[in-house]
Amino acid sequence: MVEVRYFSKSGNTEAIAQAIAAAVGAEAHDISMPLSGNTDILFLGGAVYAFHIAGRLKKFIKTLSPESTAKIAVFSTAGNPGGASGLIKKQLQKRGITPVEREFHCIGGLAKDETVQKQAAQFAREIMEEAKQ
């Protein structure tokens, strides 16, 4: 099962989540929606707020385990060009989870840009392809 979860305060990360979900034939949900069961691929997104990811996203990550989620691919938005993926990956690693090395990030203000949306969709399709190999 492929799942998409995100935390988004002002809609930028949500816009990327929607592009990813549409590309992989899944639905994007806020992290308040628990995962439905054993997950083959989880696309997990967040953003940077005052140099940190949201506490709610950290809490969600604490519910994950390597056993219940086979593969996690991270995406993020931020004001700075580096995104938040490194911060999210660090929290996953604390749980003993090694996320997919590749990640997608963009500047928040560009998240609804058509080109960026296409890049996010392409990223998601490539992760799906890699998972099949």
Query: For binding to ligand FMN (CB under 6 A), which residues are involved?
Result: 8-14, 47-51, 77-80, 108
Work out how close the CB of 26 gets to ligand FMN at its nearest, in angstroms, rounded to a whole number: 18
CB of 132 to ligand FMN, least distance (A): 30
Output the smallest distance, CB 98 to ligand FMN, in A: 25
Which three-class secondary structure string do you get for the chain? Answer: CEEEEECCCCCHHHHHHHHHHHHHCCCEEECCCCCCCCEEEEEEEEECECCECCHHHHHHHHCCCCCCEEEEEEEEEECCCCCCHHHHHHHHHHCCCCCCCCCEEEEHHHCCCHHHHHHHHHHHHHHHHHHHC
Cβ proximity to ligand FMN: between 69 and 77 the closer is 77
Q: Which residue is nearest to ligand FMN (CB)?
A: 108
Q: Which is nearer to ligand FMN, 12 or 85 (CB)?
A: 12
- Cβ closest to ligand FMN, residue 41 vs residue 48: 48
